[in-house]
Chain A
Amino acid sequence: MFLHLHCHSCFSFLDGAAGVEALVAQAALLGMKAIALTDHNTIAGLPSFHKWAAAYGVKPISGAEITLEDGSHLTVLAETRTGYANLCRLLTLAHTGPERRRDPRVPEHELLAHGEGLIVLSGCRRGRLARHLLRGENDAAKRLARVYRDAFPGAYFIELQADGYPGADRLHRSQVALAKDLGIPVVATGDVHHVHPEQAALHDVLTCIRLGCDIHTPHPERPLNHTRWLFSAGEAERRFAGLPPEALANTVAIAERCDVVLPQGGSLFPRYRLPEGWRHPRGLLRHLVWRGARERYGRIDAALRHRIEHELEIIERLGYTDYFLTVWDIVDFARRHRIRCAGRGSAADSAVAYCLYITDVDAAGRGLLFERFMSLERAEKPDIDIDFDSRRRDEVMDYVYRKYGADHVARVATYQTFRGRSAVRDIGAALGLPEALLDALAKRVPWAAHADRLEGLFERLPELREVSQYQRQLRWLWRLAAQAAGFPRHFGMHLGGVVISARPLLEVTSLQPSAKGEWMTPFDKEGVEDVGLVKLDLLSLRTMAAIEDTVVLRERQGHRLDYDRIPLDDRETFAMLGNGETIGVFQLESPAQRALQARLKPEGLEDIVASVALIRPGPIKGNMVDPFLLRRHGQAPITYLHPKLEPILGKTYGVVLFQEQVIEIATEVARFTPGEADQLRRVMSRARSAAEMERIGRQFLEKAEAAGVDPAVARTIFSYIQGYASYGFCEAHAAAFATTAYKTAYLVCHFPAEFYASILNQYPMGYYPVHVVCAEARRRGIRVLGPDVNRSTWACQVEDGAIRLGFCRIHGFREAVAEAMCEARERGGPFESALDLLRRVPQVDRLTAEHLIRVGAFDGLHPSRRAALWALPAWLGARSEAAPWWVASPGPGMEPDGSGLPGDDLPLAAKLMDEYRLLGVGVSGHWLNLYRPELERTGHVTAREVESLPDGSIVRVAGLVVRPHRPPTRSGKTVVFFTLEDETGFVDVTMFESVYQSCGAMLFTPYGRLAGVAGEVQRRGGTKPQVVASAVWPLT
């Protein structure tokens, strides 16, 4: 008998080529009753490991392969809960210290001091014992083994690995002799790094990525052979024949000794610390909820009272009173400190959350079902996500740390997995493909492409197909990328996830510092839930900051803007939305959303909720947009594929819009159990591999057929579900976003200058680059003024109805320099010349001054930028008061203050080049100004002219190409959407497959930044015209 006690998964990052499920599944297939997971210096994979182990009926043994301070390895298994806590402590210590974040090392004395409950195996060839023995340092090996034998009585084993490496036989002989000499037991391990032998290539490539070399470069850390796979007991007997048989038997003995130690289930959420005068959390929560209800609703009728009582009862029965109080407390802190916030996600299904000001969605008023958020049947942990003003979210986080103590609070990890682009870059480089080729390929791979679908993409997309060389390497690239799909590539900190634990966190998880220095658990959001921690998502959202900025800008002008009391039925706002004029509006600004708004003509918040959910890859791929619009406007009958769908989809006119609907369909149509439905939700709620979706699809079809559903209907229904993978919104989340969307639309409608200035201050945010935001402001008649040394501040401001760009918009400008300039201005009055500024603000260096000139910030003092640039070196030389006057003179006839400089200026093209490069937008004009005479001569019309042309008109337009993208389509054919921006506004363009294949690929190359388009004007039922392209060409 043999069991694997030394296994690496993909959580060993670039030293593990086995998915966690694949490891466990193979162990089960081989009839192994237990398996250990021992990733390098992390327990990150343990929650997933335990979940799959439970699913496959295999006992999970928790461990890690730790690295000691001398770089040697040691395999550590947790025998008991105490051992697990010690392992967490050791791994935390390993990551403590500035140089240890990326290079964790466990201090040996800590291991020896905190060894209770741990079983230690002597490690692989990089273990110190093996190193000594391979070097023939037998005495040193003996001393070391004795130390560990005595420190871990009965729990130290010498690890034998039949890995087919040089010196293995000799090492085995030495190890066995030493074991016999000191009475230490031996144990056989496989040092598993991949599941099957043929995956050794992937392990090799991942190692090359880690080492920064390619496969043609020899390196001692690259795997020498393919032997580190998850072999069977029979193979173990063959490999370890000739070695003491107890080496195999001990694997079973150790597995039997080890408990299942990872905390699972339960809740580790802390009790809320009650303020004076309160004895029970229940009483406090009820008091706060009813107080909030009176404030929110004014009058509480019987239905509302019943609803709130019902929610409170479920919250209390599930034991989440303290959780709600804690979230309320955090939101209350934010509100008291004027930190703008709004809840999102399924919490918006809760009237209690609304009354506690956690969300802004009136769940009772909108008829949202609380059971979708929390129910006694599912008894899931609640998940509340709150967006805070991005600039001040950390204040909220600090409050949480202060209140609950650093030992009990940690951030949650997140893992970026191998995706299409990263796979091309990383694996391609490891395969030795030229960097330039990989760069070009990666840029052309669609952003969201899965790593396991690259081969298909390269056959389909013309801009990728043109690569004709390196076919053999590219085939390997597709194959290996598919194998690595879904593997974690980078470990990072979740944007807002934080856990608060009743128990000291080190009893539950190890901790490690993020790049920002915050301590985080290595578990991701699913992992923390699995171990009983409850996650809060305290997110930072720039939209919140932009909203707050708008309020402040209004206040500066002497107007109060009460964002919380914005009317939700403003006609002008809905009219604006119905015209598709939504650039800058939260969630509604993409070309697809703008087109949708123009067709939908929203009349109430409900329509915006639907909009938010509709323009997602799921509904688009499921071809749900047109049926929804037709049914919404009464132009098509409402039909259902199956009678069971009517109660589920009635609210959305028979169209699948929300994630909950998918779950309900699975439960009703295919009779999924709550566990299976939850699995489906998890598959849907994040980008998984295609294989996982296929597997759950098979399950759905089998169960639906068994429930008597026609197979063809079941397949169609599942195609809706499949379209949803990773992109579905739950209704409450859509409602929360829709509320913010509507309110930002109100700001755009009534205070466009303030809101667009605020967006520019928060940039990067939203869907569009700076020049599009400015173009939209101009289209609305708002002037956009360039930075000015005598008028600008760090932030963009509103100046007589115009937007004055702030210094923050100048690439690379430092806030401290801007502050110094503003202070100097306040102290000594406006600058009289560039030299005056340089003398009064020493922080302005040569590059900063040059940038100020190039963006026109000195235009008010020195109208010729060319002359100012010419004079700058002399001004810099003369900034010291002591310098003689002639040092500052830029040339004959010119004065140090700039007067007398030549009047001829840079041409418009040069100015625009500088402005687009440094500001992201032209303030002297638009790129298209340069082309317009020729465009007029050749019959091109402007974007504004397109708006007045009837459907069917054949036009030529030209402009800056904005955000070309190829969203997934139901047919699988490529449709390209992009926007052309010219000096008069925008026109949206749709390009179908044939045009894309013949000439559209250039949009995704550097030649596609400025383009001309020929095509037909179409409105498709809306008021906003678009051009359906018949040809596209680069504008040169």
Chain B
Amino acid sequence: MRRPVSRLVNRPIQVHGLCGEIPQVFRDGGKWHRVDCVIDRWIEMGDWWADQGPRVVVRVLTEDQALFDLEFVDERWFIYRVWD
């Protein structure tokens, strides 16, 4: 069985329709993705020594069956990682 691989992206994104803390739709590179379900969520401490605050990470499955880790840092959303 092939192990899942991922790619670190760390790119800011535009989001719409927050449901609680989770974006419903986000746009990356001109393409809109609609969140189908939230797989997991967690909180990370961030680089406190660089005065970064905590970040919220959500792992979402989009309607087109793509898996993303989205990250909320300093009031902005990023795509942190894309899973293949």
Hey, which bits of chain A sit against chain B, CB under 8 A? Answer: 164-170, 200-201, 204, 215, 223-227, 431, 472-473, 476
Query: How far is B40's CA from A882's CA once the two chains are assembled, in angstroms?
Result: 81
> Which residues of B lie under 8 Å from residue A165 when comparing CB positions?
42
B41 within 8 A of A: yes
B35 to chain A, nearest CB (A): 16
Report the nearest A residue to B59, measured CB to CB.
A166
> Which residues of A lie under 8 Å from residue B48 when comparing CB positions?
200-201, 204
The answer to whether B49 touches A224, judged by C-beta atoms less than 8 angstroms apart, is no
Query: How far is B52's CA from A215's CA once the two chains are assembled, in angstroms?
Result: 14
CB contact list, B18-63 vs A, under 8 A: 40-45, 48-49, 54, 59
B21 to chain A, nearest CB (A): 11
Given contact pairs A201-B48, A215-B49, A170 touches B40 in the complex (Cβ within 8 A) = yes
A480 to chain B, nearest CB (A): 10
Given contact pairs A200-B48, A431-B49, A476-B49, A225 touches B41 in the complex (Cβ within 8 A) = no
Query: How far is B45's CA from A473's CA once the two chains are assembled, in angstroms?
Result: 18
Known: A164-B42, A169-B41. 14 other contacts (CB 8 A): A166-B42, A170-B40, A200-B48, A201-B49, A215-B49, A224-B42, A224-B43, A224-B44, A225-B42, A225-B44, A225-B54, A227-B43, A473-B49, A476-B49
> Which residues of B lie under 8 Å from residue A200 when comparing CB positions?
45, 48
Which of A166, A169, A476 gathers most chain B CB within 10 Å?
A: A166
The answer to whether A225 touches B49, judged by C-beta atoms less than 8 angstroms apart, is no
Name the one of A166, A201, A227 contacting B40, with C-beta atoms under 8 angstroms.
A166
The answer to whether A225 touches B43, judged by C-beta atoms less than 8 angstroms apart, is yes
The answer to whether A168 touches B49, judged by C-beta atoms less than 8 angstroms apart, is no
> Which residues of B lie under 8 Å from residue A204 when comparing CB positions?
45, 48
Report the nearest B residue to A198, measured CB to CB.
B48
Query: How far is B42's CA from A473's CA once the two chains are assembled, in angstroms?
Result: 28
Interface of A is mostly: loop
> Which residues of A lie under 8 Å from residue B40 when comparing CB positions?
166-167, 169-170
> Which residues of A lie under 8 Å from residue B45 when comparing CB positions?
200, 204, 223-226
> Which residues of A lie under 8 Å from residue B59 when comparing CB positions?
166
Report the nearest A residue to B51, measured CB to CB.
A472
Query: How far is B40's CA from A167's CA once the two chains are assembled, in angstroms?
Result: 6
> Which residues of A lie under 8 Å from residue B43 when comparing CB positions?
164, 224-227
Which of B41, B42, B59 gathers most chain A CB within 10 Å?
A: B42
Query: How far is B59's CA from A348's CA once the two chains are assembled, in angstroms?
Result: 70
Hey, which bits of chain B sit against chain A, CB under 8 A? Answer: 40-45, 48-49, 54, 59
Query: How far is B41's CA from A170's CA once the two chains are assembled, in angstroms?
Result: 10
Report the nearest B residue to A205, measured CB to CB.
B49
Query: How far is B43's CA from A223's CA once the two chains are assembled, in angstroms?
Result: 11
Report the nearest B residue to A224, measured CB to CB.
B44
> Which residues of A lie under 8 Å from residue B41 when comparing CB positions?
169
Report the nearest B residue to A222, measured CB to CB.
B45
Query: How far is B79's CA from A695's CA once the two chains are assembled, in angstroms?
Result: 49
A454 to chain B, nearest CB (A): 17
Report the nearest A residue to B56, measured CB to CB.
A164
A135 to chain B, nearest CB (A): 15
> Which residues of B lie under 8 Å from residue A226 when comparing CB positions?
43, 45, 54
Report the nearest A residue to B47, measured CB to CB.
A215
A199 to chain B, nearest CB (A): 11
Q: List 15 A-B contacts (CB under 8 A).
A: A166-B42, A168-B42, A170-B40, A200-B48, A204-B48, A223-B45, A224-B42, A224-B43, A224-B45, A225-B43, A225-B44, A225-B45, A225-B54, A473-B49, A476-B49
> Which residues of B lie under 8 Å from residue A169 when comparing CB positions?
40-41
Query: How far is B50's CA from A940's CA once the two chains are assembled, in angstroms?
Result: 54
A340 to chain B, nearest CB (A): 54
B60 to chain A, nearest CB (A): 14
A679 to chain B, nearest CB (A): 35
Query: How far is B44's CA from A164's CA once the two chains are assembled, in angstroms?
Result: 8
Query: How far is B49's CA from A124's CA once the two chains are assembled, in angstroms?
Result: 27
Query: How far is B40's CA from A431's CA once the two chains are assembled, in angstroms?
Result: 31
Which of B41, B45, B59 gathers most chain A CB within 10 Å?
A: B45
> Which residues of A lie under 8 Å from residue B49 when comparing CB positions?
201, 215, 431, 472-473, 476
A217 to chain B, nearest CB (A): 13
B77 to chain A, nearest CB (A): 18
> Which residues of B lie under 8 Å from residue A225 when comparing CB positions?
42-45, 54
> Which residues of B lie under 8 Å from residue A227 when comparing CB positions?
43
> Which residues of B lie under 8 Å from residue A224 when comparing CB positions?
42-45
> Which residues of B lie under 8 Å from residue A168 when comparing CB positions?
42
> Which residues of B lie under 8 Å from residue A472 when comparing CB positions?
49
Report the nearest A residue to B41, measured CB to CB.
A169
A162 to chain B, nearest CB (A): 11
Query: How far is B49's CA from A472's CA once the two chains are assembled, in angstroms?
Result: 8
> Which residues of B lie under 8 Å from residue A201 when comparing CB positions?
48-49
Report the nearest A residue to B57, measured CB to CB.
A166
B38 to chain A, nearest CB (A): 9
B71 to chain A, nearest CB (A): 13
> Which residues of A lie under 8 Å from residue B44 when comparing CB positions?
224-225
Query: How far is B59's CA from A165's CA once the two chains are assembled, in angstroms?
Result: 12
Report the nearest B residue to A165, measured CB to CB.
B42
A570 to chain B, nearest CB (A): 63
Report the nearest A residue to B55, measured CB to CB.
A225
Report the nearest A residue to B53, measured CB to CB.
A226
B56 to chain A, nearest CB (A): 8
B73 to chain A, nearest CB (A): 13
> Which residues of A lie under 8 Å from residue B42 when comparing CB positions?
164-168, 224-225
Report the nearest B residue to A473, measured CB to CB.
B49
> Which residues of B lie under 8 Å from residue A473 when comparing CB positions?
49
Query: How far is B41's CA from A169's CA once the two chains are assembled, in angstroms?
Result: 8
Across the A-B interface, the 9 shortest Cβ-Cβ residue pairs? A164-B43, A225-B43, A166-B42, A201-B48, A225-B45, A226-B45, A166-B40, A165-B42, A164-B42
Query: How far is B49's CA from A476's CA once the two chains are assembled, in angstroms?
Result: 7
Which of B40, B41, B48, B59 gathers most chain A CB within 10 Å?
A: B48
Report the nearest A residue to B39, measured CB to CB.
A170
B31 to chain A, nearest CB (A): 26
Query: How far is B42's CA from A170's CA once the two chains are assembled, in angstroms?
Result: 12
A805 to chain B, nearest CB (A): 53
B10 to chain A, nearest CB (A): 16
Query: How far is B45's CA from A223's CA once the two chains are assembled, in angstroms?
Result: 8
> Which residues of B lie under 8 Å from residue A215 when comparing CB positions?
49
Query: How far is B12's CA from A700's CA once the two chains are assembled, in angstroms?
Result: 57
Report the nearest B residue to A227, measured CB to CB.
B43
A821 to chain B, nearest CB (A): 58
> Which residues of B lie under 8 Å from residue A431 when comparing CB positions?
49
Query: How far is B43's CA from A167's CA once the two chains are assembled, in angstroms?
Result: 11
> Which residues of B lie under 8 Å from residue A166 when comparing CB positions?
40, 42, 59
B84 to chain A, nearest CB (A): 19
B72 to chain A, nearest CB (A): 13
B13 to chain A, nearest CB (A): 21
> Which residues of B lie under 8 Å from residue A476 when comparing CB positions?
49
Query: How far is B23's CA from A294's CA once the two chains are assembled, in angstroms?
Result: 92
Query: How far is B44's CA from A233's CA once the two chains are assembled, in angstroms?
Result: 23
Query: How far is B31's CA from A466's CA once the two chains are assembled, in angstroms?
Result: 54
Which of A170, A226, A227 gathers most chain B CB within 10 Å?
A: A226
Query: How far is B41's CA from A472's CA once the two chains are assembled, in angstroms?
Result: 32
Query: How far is B53's CA from A225's CA once the two chains are assembled, in angstroms?
Result: 10
Query: How far is B40's CA from A224's CA once the two chains are assembled, in angstroms?
Result: 15
A218 to chain B, nearest CB (A): 11
Query: How far is B38's CA from A170's CA once the two chains are assembled, in angstroms?
Result: 12
Query: How far is B66's CA from A635's CA once the two chains are assembled, in angstroms?
Result: 91
> Which residues of B lie under 8 Å from residue A223 when comparing CB positions?
45
Query: How far is B54's CA from A224's CA once the two chains are assembled, in angstroms?
Result: 10
Report the nearest A residue to B50, measured CB to CB.
A472
Query: How far is B40's CA from A496's CA once the two chains are assembled, in angstroms?
Result: 55
Query: How far is B45's CA from A165's CA once the two chains are assembled, in angstroms?
Result: 11
Query: How far is B39's CA from A166's CA once the two chains are assembled, in angstroms?
Result: 10
Query: How far is B48's CA from A431's CA once the two chains are assembled, in angstroms?
Result: 11
Query: How far is B41's CA from A165's CA once the two chains are assembled, in angstroms?
Result: 8
Query: How far is B42's CA from A94's CA once the two chains are assembled, in angstroms?
Result: 34
> Which residues of A lie under 8 Å from residue B54 when comparing CB positions?
225-226
Report the nearest B residue to A480, measured CB to CB.
B49
Query: How far is B45's CA from A224's CA once the two chains are assembled, in angstroms?
Result: 6
